Amino acid sequence: MIILGIESSCDETAAAIVRDGHDVLASTISSQVQLHAGYGGVIPELAAREHLRNISPVVDTALAKAAISIDQIEGVAVTSNPGLIPALLVGNAYAKGLAAAKDIPLVGINHFIAHIYGAFIGQPELLADAANFPILALVVSGGHTAIVVIQPDGHARIVGSTLDDAAGEALDKAAKILGLGYPGGPVIDRIAKTGNTSAYDFPRGLTGAAGKAVKPEHRFDFSFSGVKTAMLYAVKDRSLSDQELADVVASYQAAVMGVLVTKAGDAALHFNTPVICVCGGVACNSYLREKLSQEAGRIGRKLVLAPPKYCTDNAAMVAGLAWHYLRHGRSDGLAMPTNARLDHDLGIIPFAPNATMPAN
């Protein structure tokens, strides 16, 4: 089955053509990063206007790259939650119109779950093997930082999430404080390579590193507000040399990523998950990828890192995931709603080997 995927949850207008869940025929993205950079973050109404301007050309480009016509599309998938409502509405209106015009099934996709699937889109054999389950997924982006455990029957639950800032948000805010521009993740990753990760002893929230015991209910939760505040005071009223800036950035990045590594490793052992999957925009970070590889080796777990092209927002993960829903008989009608928030009850994940989806 050939599925067209559409993604417009934030500031990327994306379209992709995917066959049978993993054969990516085309993936096209129009980024709005430069447009929003001057504001230090995404402006929802501005993002929606750009989606409206870009969505038709982006879909046309994807079809041209895949060398197929719109009449060959057998299903339409679109991110319906979570995300910025003005931005989501543009993609959903387009997808619903196309599904109605061509009389093909429509599937609304949870962006958060799609990120998890993006890590496996080129390795479907890993998802077909029940021995790889339960899978632990660390989802780290500008909007989300959470640990998910997925059982072989598809039941999935969020076992830990951030109590304040997401990891990507913590990087963006640090970059803004330091005057490094937006988005913060890539520039922090680059500058940190020449810095000393031990120059500053920044706090690592909810890890017990400061001698304060972590409450059991927060064992797998995250908090990045403390490290951000500590960094703010460390540079306040100071003029930093290039090396001093690199040391601050390297120490800050090490603190943020260190928490992610520690929590993921602890959760993998606690829930006895043979596979650790890491996905989302922050999964592009080279320091995080290196440290997670070391941790996975130390505790004897298989590590699946989302390819960088599927870490950031894209439509291939949307179309690929939709195939699994459709093969289980699920499709959504034109009354399908959009939702800005993430529901912690993730329901049944359809790509698990023993998943049985409820009736549509």
- Which residue positions form the known binding site for substrate? 139-143, 172, 185, 189, 285
Q: In this structure, are strands 12-19 and 23-31 parallel, antiparallel, or unpaired?
A: antiparallel
Tokens of 297: 């080796």
Residue 77 pairs in a beta bridge with: 5, 107
Angle at which helix 167-177 crosses helix 225-235, to 10 degrees, equals 10
**Which residues fall in the annotated binding site for Fe cation?**
111, 115, 313
**Which residues fall in the annotated binding site?**
111, 115, 139-143, 172, 185, 189, 285, 313
Task: Identify the H or E element spanning 90.
Answer: helix 85-102
The answer to whether 37 and 110 have CB atoms below 8 angstroms apart is no
Centre a 10 Å sphere on the Cβ of residue 1 and count the other Cβ atoms it contains: 14
The single residue listed with the structure tokens 């599927």 is 310
Smallest CA-to-CA distance from 88 within 350, 347, 341 is with 341
Smallest CA-to-CA distance from 193 within 135, 145, 134, 254 is with 254
Q: What is the sign of the dihedral through the CA atoms of 269, 166, 37 and 342?
A: positive
Burial 248-265 (b: 16+ CB within 10 A, else e): bbbbbbbbbbbbbbbbbb
The answer to whether 168 and 185 have CB atoms below 8 angstroms apart is yes
The answer to whether 183 and 172 have CB atoms below 8 angstroms apart is yes
Q: In whole angstroms, how large is the CA radius of gyration of the chain?
A: 20
